[in-house]
Amino acid sequence: MNIFNYTTPIGKLAITDNGKAVVGVGFDKKFPFMVLGCPDRGGVCEKAYEQLMEYFAGTRKEFDLPLVPAGTPFQKRVWDALLKIPYGKTVSYSDIALAIGNPKAVRAVGMACNRNPIAIIVPCHRVVGKSGKLVGYAGGLEIKQRLLELERN
C-alpha cells in the first residue's frame, strides 16, 4: 500500500493505492491517519492526483483510473451505481436504491455513500436528499457544495 498526501483546491487529500489501482481518496478530516503517509509520490497515486487536479480545473469530467474499493458486496453495488451518475447531475439516495434493485434500501445507500473510500472519483457528492437538499458528506457539506458548483459551471 502506498499513501500519498496532496494539497488540492478543496484542502488536503490522501490518495492510497495498492501498486496497481486506487483504493482510497480521503479527506484529512475523515482519515487523519493518512496524513502521516509517505512523502514520495509516483505511480497510480500520482496519476489519480493529476486527474483530480484536471477535475478541479474543470478540464476533466470523467476519471480513467483503476479502482479497487474495499467494501461489502452491497456497498460495491452502490459505488458502481455512483460511477454512472453523469458529471454535473445529481440523484437522490432513493434513485440509487432503485438503480441497484433495492428500493427500500435508502438508508443503507446513505451509509454506503458515507463509507465510500474513494471520494470525488466515486462521486457520492452527486447524491442529494429526495427534496434536492444537500445532506451528508465525508468532506463536509461546504466541500460537497463546492464540488457540485464546480460541475455546474
Residue 124 annotated among the catalytic residues of the structure: yes
Place of cell 466541500: 143
Task: Write down the pLDDT at residue 42.
Answer: 65
* Distance separating alpha carbons of residues 56 and 23, to the nearest angstrom: 20
Determine whether 19 is exposed, middle or buried from the number of CB atoms within 10 Å of its CB (0-12, 13-18, 19+): exposed
* Distance separating alpha carbons of residues 63 and 25, to the nearest angstrom: 13
Please state whether the predicted TM-score (pTM) of the whole model is above 0.85.
yes
List the chain pLDDT tens, one digit each, 153 residues.
888 888 899 988 889 888 899 999 988 655 544 444 444 556 888 899 999 999 999 999 999 999 999 999 999 999 999 999 999 999 999 999 999 999 999 999 999 999 999 999 999 999 998 888 888 887 889 999 999 999 998
The terminus-to-terminus CA distance of the chain in angstroms comes to 36
